[in-house]
């Protein structure tokens, strides 16, 4: 059990916890929630021992193994698979132990004690799951959205976001009693997110997860810990239950509640207006549901000390932009300038009209960000044209925007610099006093306008970037995962502001609640094209599952076809001339594939036999045996493991060859 008793926790002058008393039981799945800057990440620092309590008592069972996601960017040329396998700390330790004993054994093969140690080391390693460590790691990596050809690529060949996914996989790889996850969904797409939910639902230890994603929390937690005003409160229930309970509590505080009535009235008016509009279409229906939910949380939202709005854009061109027969893609990094660029999307012809609210859907790596970046002029179209309407003013928000902030500078310095850069084009007052006032409306109070950005929490930084974007008064918003790091109240505030925004919106997000509440239509980016997605988010989730199934089936069929092709002689029917050549090529490839397939079949057979023997041996070694027999069994086990390792490597190499032939 984790116990906090009267805990006081500080960060410089700020008191983050003041007399926190809470118990967490083994096996509980806990959501840790609270506003940006409330102290959630700092509480994790207490849990993992990198920060100490300033008062009171804090206790975590000593023998608990803890797994958490490292926050640093990994810089190694180990393969993705090896890196993730390395996350299993117990396995890594046992491997090191085994290596040491093996060295001793080689120096002195007649020593019975060493033989015994060797046998024990093998058994321990087998118990720790050595034999399936690689497939376990690879299942995690693939689940988080990597492609199978990336499994062996070096870690430092991936971009930042993808390396952080590998860090997540590494944490999940580690067998643990306590799993700490600080905003694990930030670097994920919707499909990887759905996969992670399913994985966490099967996790058996105690889990504490910090997240601002309501649907994710509801799916994976059953207890909620809330930090507010330096108090830590435990609620039995997932996030939605917690919200209901909070709302009830607040209603009971009648005085405070009545003060919030005009905020609620404002929201209500807006809800009514949209309900009237949104009646028939299926997408609109789901938006009505989202609005009904907003109605329910209105008191909570009203409690939020912060709402904002986008200023009415000066003018709104229509169409905003039109794309005709364009191809999108990028110049692969590390390749020379004149290497052929990589085309991801082709034949894109679409117009974006004034007032449209488009959610952009699509699996990992299908080109959502490429599409958005091209429209944002961060990169050029490879072919075709993107024509902008006159007076188009794009507000672009992307994940990497956080890197644009300068850690040494404070929020005010950022605003001043931006105002200066925009110069006479700026549509807002640029005086320091005005800028301070503006920052204040984004909850950067007196002290915080002078706090270096580097010491701010993730959500505080994201809020600053958002403020800087609003200040520029855009008429087309291009938002690529804007809610990462933002707390729920700020997300609600963003959802309301986006709903009231009069310009056009294009949104990429894995935040289902946000997509539901602000988008009227969806584009689907996939299989090299951009198409309308006819349906709502539930349909999309079903589509993702179907796609995954389809891909699995396709893989199966390919294997089956390859197998039949190898088994059955290829008949030579009379074919028209133009197809003859194709057929010949196919036949040639199938001829080349034959010996490879034969060897694969042999390896499969040998691996099955070796695995069976290994399992039997392991079973025997778990029984009490005479020492000499144990040592023999240990030697045999080592030989088997070595052989299986070699077979697996060969198998992989062969299937790569097969794949290359099929391509």
What is the binding site for Mg ion (CB under 5 A)?
A: 41, 457
Considering CB distances under 5 to 8 angstroms, the limit depending on partner class, which of ligand ATP, Mg ion, none binds residue 290?
Answer: none
Give, for 647, the enclosing helix (H) or strand (E): helix 627-662
Q: Which is nearer to ligand ATP, 165 or 485 (CB)?
A: 485
Considering CB distances under 5 to 8 angstroms, the limit depending on partner class, which of ligand ATP, Mg ion, none binds residue 368?
Answer: none
Considering CB distances under 5 to 8 angstroms, the limit depending on partner class, which of Mg ion, ligand ATP, none binds residue 38?
Answer: ligand ATP
Q: Which is nearer to ligand ATP, 95 or 246 (CB)?
A: 246
Give, for 212, the enclosing helix (H) or strand (E): none
What's the closest the beta carbon of residue 220 comes to Mg ion, in angstroms? 18
Q: Which is nearer to ligand ATP, 37 or 503 (CB)?
A: 37
SS (H, E, C) 442-500: CCCCCCHHHCCHHHCCHHHHHHHHHHHHHHCCCCEEEEECCCCCCCHHHHHHHHHHHHH
What's the closest the beta carbon of residue 410 comes to ligand ATP, in angstroms? 12
Question: Residue of minimal CB distance from ligand ATP?
Answer: 459
What's the closest the beta carbon of residue 183 comes to ligand ATP, in angstroms? 7
Helix ranges (DSSP H) in 174-281: 190-202, 214-220, 239-252, 254-259, 261-277
Question: Residue of minimal CB distance from Mg ion?
Answer: 41
What's the closest the beta carbon of residue 167 comes to ligand ATP, in angstroms? 17
Sheet containing strand 394-397, edge to edge, reads 394-397, 476-480, 504-508, 357-361, 521-526, 529-533
What's the closest the beta carbon of residue 607 comes to ligand ATP, in angstroms? 47
Considering CB distances under 5 to 8 angstroms, the limit depending on partner class, which of Mg ion, ligand ATP, none binds residue 159?
Answer: none
Q: Which is nearer to ligand ATP, 462 or 537 (CB)?
A: 462
Query: Can you list the positions of beta strands (E) in 381-433?
Result: 383-388, 394-397
Coil, helix or strand for 572? coil
What's the closest the beta carbon of residue 44 comes to ligand ATP, in angstroms? 8
Backbone conformation region of residue 67, classed left if phi is above 0, alpha if psi is from -120 to 50, else beta: beta
CB-CB neighbours of 584 under 10 Å: 12
Considering CB distances under 5 to 8 angstroms, the limit depending on partner class, which of Mg ion, ligand ATP, none binds residue 456?
Answer: ligand ATP
What's the closest the beta carbon of residue 495 comes to Mg ion, in angstroms? 21
The answer to whether the CB of 382 falls within 8 A of the CB of 343 is yes
CA distances from 447 to 255, 452, 470 (A): 30, 10, 22
Q: Which is nearer to ligand ATP, 38 or 67 (CB)?
A: 38
What's the closest the beta carbon of residue 35 comes to Mg ion, in angstroms? 11
Q: Which is nearer to Mg ion, 29 or 40 (CB)?
A: 40
Q: Which is nearer to Mg ion, 221 or 369 (CB)?
A: 221
Give, for 47, the enclosing helix (H) or strand (E): helix 40-47
The answer to whether the CB of 370 falls within 8 A of the CB of 330 is yes
b/e per residue 367-400 (b: at least 16 CB within 10 A): bbbbbbbbbbeeeebbeeebebbeebbbbbbbbe
Q: Which residues contact 349 (CB under 8 A, 6 or more apart)?
A: 323, 324, 325, 326, 384
Q: Which is nearer to ligand ATP, 176 or 410 (CB)?
A: 410
Considering CB distances under 5 to 8 angstroms, the limit depending on partner class, which of Mg ion, ligand ATP, none binds residue 39?
Answer: ligand ATP
Q: Which is nearer to ligand ATP, 460 or 536 (CB)?
A: 460
The answer to whether the CB of 174 falls within 8 A of the CB of 70 is no
Q: Which is nearer to ligand ATP, 234 or 350 (CB)?
A: 234
What's the closest the beta carbon of residue 102 comes to Mg ion, in angstroms? 44
What's the closest the beta carbon of residue 39 comes to Mg ion, in angstroms? 8
Q: Which is nearer to ligand ATP, 73 or 563 (CB)?
A: 73
Query: Can you list the positions of beta strands (E) in 276-356?
Result: 321-330, 342-352
Q: Which is nearer to ligand ATP, 130 or 183 (CB)?
A: 183
What's the closest the beta carbon of residue 41 comes to Mg ion, in angstroms? 3
Residues 592 and 658: their CA atoms lie apart, in Å, by: 9
Helices and strands (H, E) in the chain, number of each type: 22, 18
Considering CB distances under 5 to 8 angstroms, the limit depending on partner class, which of Mg ion, ligand ATP, none binds residue 411?
Answer: none
Give, for 99, the enclosing helix (H) or strand (E): helix 89-107
The crossing angle, in degrees rounded to 10, of helices 89-107 and 112-127 is: 160
Residues 528 and 328: their CA atoms lie apart, in Å, by: 9
CA distances from 584 to 105, 288, 305, 589, 598 (A): 56, 58, 72, 9, 21
Considering CB distances under 5 to 8 angstroms, the limit depending on partner class, which of Mg ion, ligand ATP, none binds residue 37?
Answer: ligand ATP
Q: Which is nearer to ligand ATP, 370 or 483 (CB)?
A: 483
Q: Footprint of ligand ATP on this chain (CB under 6 A)? A: 11-12, 14, 16, 34, 36-42, 455-460, 485, 487
What's the closest the beta carbon of residue 449 comes to ligand ATP, in angstroms? 13
In whole angstroms, what separates CA 170 from the centre of its chain? 14
What's the closest the beta carbon of residue 19 comes to ligand ATP, in angstroms? 17
């Amino acid at each position: 059990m984790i116990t906090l008793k009267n805990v006081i926790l500080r960060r410089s002058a700020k008191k983050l916890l003041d007399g926190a008393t809470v118990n967490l039981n083994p096996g509980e799945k806990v959501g840790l929630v609270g506003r940006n800057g409330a102290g959630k990440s700092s509480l994790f620092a207490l849990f993992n021992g990198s920060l100490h309590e300033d008062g009171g008592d804090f206790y975590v069972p000593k023998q608990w193994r803890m797994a958490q996601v490292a926050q640093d960017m990994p810089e190694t040329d180990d393969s993705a698979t090896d890196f993730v396998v390395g996350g299993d700390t117990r396995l890594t330790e046992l491997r090191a132990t085994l290596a040491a004993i093996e060295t001793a054994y080689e120096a002195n093969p007649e020593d019975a004690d060493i033989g015994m140690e060797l046998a024990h080391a093998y058994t321990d390693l087998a118990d720790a799951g050595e034999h399936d460590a690689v497939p376990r790691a690879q299942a995690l990596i693939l689940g988080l959205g990597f492609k199978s050809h990336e499994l062996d690529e070096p870690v430092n060949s991936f971009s930042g976001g993808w390396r952080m996914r590998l860090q997540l996989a590494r944490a999940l790889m580690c067998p643990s009693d306590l799993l700490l996850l600080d905003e694990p969904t930030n670097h994920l797409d919707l499909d990887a997110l759905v996969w992670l939910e399913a994985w966490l639902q099967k996790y058996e230890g105690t889990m504490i997860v910090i997240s601002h994603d309501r649907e994710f929390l509801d799916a994976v937690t059953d207890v909620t810990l809330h930090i507010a005003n330096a108090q830590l409160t435990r609620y039995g229930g997932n996030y939605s239950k917690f919200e209901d309970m909070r709302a009830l509590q607040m209603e009971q505080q009648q005085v405070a509640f009545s003060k919030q009535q005009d905020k609620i009235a404002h929201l209500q008016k807006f809800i009514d207006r949209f309900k009237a509009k949104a009646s028939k279409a299926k997408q609109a229906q789901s938006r009505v549901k989202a609005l009904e939910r907003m109605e329910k949380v209105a008191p909570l939202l009203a409690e939020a000390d912060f709402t904002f709005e986008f200023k009415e854009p000066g003018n709104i061109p229509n169409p905003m932009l039109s794309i005709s027969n364009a191809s999108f893609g990028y110049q692969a990094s590390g390749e020379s300038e004149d290497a052929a660029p990589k085309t991801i999307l082709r034949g894109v012809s679409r117009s974006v009209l004034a007032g449209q609210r488009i959610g952009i859907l699509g699996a990992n790596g299908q080109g959502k960000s490429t599409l958005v970046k091209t429209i944002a002029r961060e990169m050029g179209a490879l072919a075709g044209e993107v024509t902008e309407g006159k007076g188009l003013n794009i507000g672009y928000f992307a994940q990497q925007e956080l890197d644009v902030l300068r850690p040494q500078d404070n929020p005010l310095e950022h605003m001043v610099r931006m105002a200066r850069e925009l110069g006479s084009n700026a549509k807002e007052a640029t005086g320091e006093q005005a800028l301070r006032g503006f920052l204040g409306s984004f909850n950067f109070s007196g002290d915080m306008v002078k706090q270096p950005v580097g010491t701010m929490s993730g959500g505080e930084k994201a809020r600053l970037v958002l403020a800087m974007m609003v200040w520029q008064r855009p008429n087309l918003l291009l938002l690529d995962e804007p809610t990462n790091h933002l707390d729920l109240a700020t997300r609600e505030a963003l959802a309301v502001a986006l709903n009231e925004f009069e310009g056009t919106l294009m949104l990429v997000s894995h935040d289902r609640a946000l997509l539901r509440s602000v988008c009227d239509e969806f584009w689907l980016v996939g299989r090299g094209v951009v198409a309308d997605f006819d349906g709502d988010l539930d349909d999309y989730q079903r589509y993702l599952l179907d796609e995954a199934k389809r891909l699995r089936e396709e893989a199966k069929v390919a294997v089956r076809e390859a197998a039949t092709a190898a088994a059955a002689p290829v008949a030579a029917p009379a074919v028209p001339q133009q197809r003859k050549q194709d057929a010949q090529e196919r036949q040639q490839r199938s001829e080349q594939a034959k010996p490879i397939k034969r060897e694969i079949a042999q390896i499969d057979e040998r691996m099955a036999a070796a695995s069976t023997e290994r399992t039997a041996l392991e079973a025997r070694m778990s029984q009490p045996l005479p020492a000499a027999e144990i040592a023999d069994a240990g030697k045999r086990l080592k030989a088997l493991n070595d052989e299986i390792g070699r077979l697996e490597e060969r198998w992989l190499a062969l299937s790569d060859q097969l794949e290359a032939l099929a391509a």
